[in-house]
Amino acid sequence: MRIVDIRETAIPLKSTLANSSFDFTEMTTSVVAVITDVFRSGKPVCGFAFNSTGRYACGAQMRARFIPRIIAAEPVSLLDETGNNLDPAKIFDCMMRREKAGGHSERSIAIGTIEVAIWDAVAKIADKPLHTILAERFSDGKIADKVFCYVGGGWYWPGQTIKDLQDEMRRHLDAGYTMVKMKVGGLPLDQDLRRLEAVLEVIGSGKHLAVDANCKFDRDESLRYARALSPYKLRWFEEPCDPLDFALFADLTEVYEPPLATGENLYSTQDVENLVRFGGFRAGRDVIQIDPPQAYGIAQYAKTLEMLSRRGWPRTSLFPHGGNQMSLAIAAGFGLGGAESYPGVFGDFGGFADDASIEIGTISLSERPGIGFEGQARLYRIMRELAAL
């Protein structure tokens, strides 16, 4: 068997929302199709992925380096030992040829998106859901049937009132979620605290509410927010400051006892290791939110988990960023703390299978082979067109 073609296209997300730091009006994502010569029901098996949300499309690197390297490789050199399926680790090594150390995010998103599409193909060829394949390879075969899932919501939008925000949170609870996250840092602290208290009235307890500052604050403002938020004992306080300011993270852990969270803007195992070595991040308390398609993909994610495990971190402290079926399959397959959901936020790229159900804060998993994009009609239309299926 072999990879026949790898295609990519950039699609706009068409979102009008904003966090504390930027709006999403220009946001795009790269959709990737890996087309194989394996046939099922008369059609070629194709693996799909996209580069999650929050980072722009990265087709230039894919077209110039990573896709040509894979296509030029001897096909048999990319197969596993059975010769009947692709080997994601060999394909990763092929993409990394002639790449210099460091400088991760220049390539980690392009490579990670292709790598996740390869896994989708691998699972489809094996005729199993991706979460099952991952559980077999990385989690002693412990196969989840549902995953804890919380809503990343509470955005800022023009003309929004406190009541609008409370209504949004009520909708999430009515939909079956038990935990929500809201943005902070888009308004002065006193107004953000009024929003927070209004949401707590709906949610009931800080245990079920996280806040996300999207890296907005400088040192003084981070510490000021940390001190002000501390008494609410929130589930976590996400991205208070620059994602690489490990010294400031360490200082924040001195003044902020409840969990801190970060990781969606870290792109390598080494970056995450630096966070836990130098950022004061507390094993078993704080939360790490790497986005696997943006950080070299699933096999690298497994290596990051191994590193964290050596440093005493339980897998339940990891909540992959993304709010999509890729992160959901990864959360299920590796037995992580849970997944994020962005209901109705990122157009065709937010959300899960059309038939997924949320019950008491957990989401059901698709039994479709692969990641399960085929069960997400609007997104799958884009993927099918790209692959000309």
Q: Where are the beta strands (DSSP E) in 243-366?
A: 260-262, 287-288, 339-341, 358-359, 362-364
The neighbour count for residue 157, using CB atoms within 10 Å, is: 12
- Sign of the Cα torsion 195, 196, 199, 201 reads negative
- The residue among 47 and 185 lying less far from Mg ion, judged by its C-beta, is 185
Cα–chain center distance at 294: 8
Q: How many amino acids of this chain bind Mg ion (CB under 5 A)? A: 1
Q: Using alpha carbons only, how large is the chain's radius of gyration in Å?
A: 20
Residues 211 to 240: which contact Mg ion by CB under 5 A? Answer: 212
Distance of closest approach, residue 214 Cβ to Mg ion, in angstroms? 6
Listed ranges 92-100, 184-192, 206-214, 224-232: which one lies at the site for Mg ion (CB under 5 A)? 206-214
Using rule CB under 5 A, residue 87 touches Mg ion: no
Contact status, residue 260 vs residue 253, Cβ threshold 8 Å:
yes
Q: How far apart are CB 85 and Mg ion at their closest, in Å?
A: 35
CB-based contact 255:230 (threshold 8 Å) = yes
Q: How far is the CB of 140 from Mg ion (least distance, A)?
A: 30
In the complex, least distance from residue 147 CB atom to Mg ion, rounded to whole angstroms = 18
Q: For Mg ion, give the closer residue by CB, 78 or 211.
A: 211
**Residue 212 or 348 having the CB closest to Mg ion:** 212
- Tell me the C-alpha distance between 362 and 373, whole Å: 19
* Spatial CB neighbours of 215, under 8 Å, sequence gap ≥ 6: 21, 239, 240, 241, 242, 243, 265
Min dist. Cβ of residue 53 to Mg ion (A): 10
- Write the DSSP symbol of residue 119: H
User: Tokens standing for 209?
Assistant: 């509410």
Residues sharing a CB contact under 8 Å with residue 71, sequence separation 6 or more, in sequence order: 3, 5, 6
Residues contacting 286, CB < 8 A, separation 6+: 236, 253, 259, 260, 261, 317
Which of the ranges 45-53, 60-68, 125-133, 210-218 carries the binding residues for Mg ion, by CB under 5 A? 210-218
Q: How far is the CB of 216 from Mg ion (least distance, A)?
A: 11
Residue closest to Mg ion, measured at CB: 212
Contact 97, 50 (CB under 8 A): no
Q: 212 vs 251, which CB is nearer to Mg ion?
A: 212
* Closest approach of Mg ion to the CB of residue 323, in Å: 10
Which residues form the catalytic set? 183, 321
Answer yes or no: are the C-beta atoms of 142 and 382 closer than 8 Å. Answer: no
For the chain, give me the number of helices (H) and strands (E)?
13, 12
- Name which of 20 and 139 has its Cβ closer to Mg ion: 20
- Which residue number, 8 or 212, has a Cβ lying nearer to Mg ion? 212
Stretch that binds Mg ion, among 207-215, 266-274, 326-334, 354-362 (CB under 5 A): 207-215
- Pick between residue 134 and residue 184 the one whose CB is nearest to Mg ion: 184
Chain residues that interact with Mg ion, rule: CB under 5 A: 212
